[in-house]
């Protein structure tokens, strides 16, 4: 597939890119080569290839969806610059 400068300018406009006229011809050539490569990929026979969602066949570990405090409030609050009882202290932002 061959792209011309007008098509590249239209793509740049749609992508909200400011592309100088001097860059249109080289970009058209580069995009045309990418489109040719995609056309080559369409020729590959993938009839007996199962669709993939990832590189390995792994299952996620499931756990119960339980609301909790994390079990380590002292460790968490140790990171607080300021604390008030068992809460993070933050400056007032609304009058």
User: Domain coordinates of the chain in residue numbers?
Assistant: 5-42
Q: Residue range 20-46: average pLDDT?
A: 93
pTM of the model: 0.49
| Tens digit of each residue's pLDDT (9 = 90 or more) over 45-83 | 989 888 877 777 778 888 888 887 677 888 888 888 888
List Cα–Cα distances, 67 to 62, 63, 90, in angstroms.
15, 12, 24
Quick count: other Cβ atoms within 10 Å of Cβ 3? Answer: 19
Q: Give bridge partners of residue 88 from the DSSP assignment.
A: 83
């Amino acid at each position: 597939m061959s792209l011309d400068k007008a098509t590249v300018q239209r793509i740049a406009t749609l992508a909200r890119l400011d592309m100088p006229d001097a860059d249109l011809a080289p970009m058209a050539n580069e995009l045309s080569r990418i489109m040719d490569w995609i056309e080559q990929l369409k020729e590959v026979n993938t009839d007996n290839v199962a669709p993939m969602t990832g590189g390995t066949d792994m299952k996620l570990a499931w756990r119960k969806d339980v609301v909790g405090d994390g079990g380590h409030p002292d460790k968490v609050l140790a990171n607080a610059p300021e604390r008030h009882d068992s809460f993070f202290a933050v400056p007032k932002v609304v009058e």
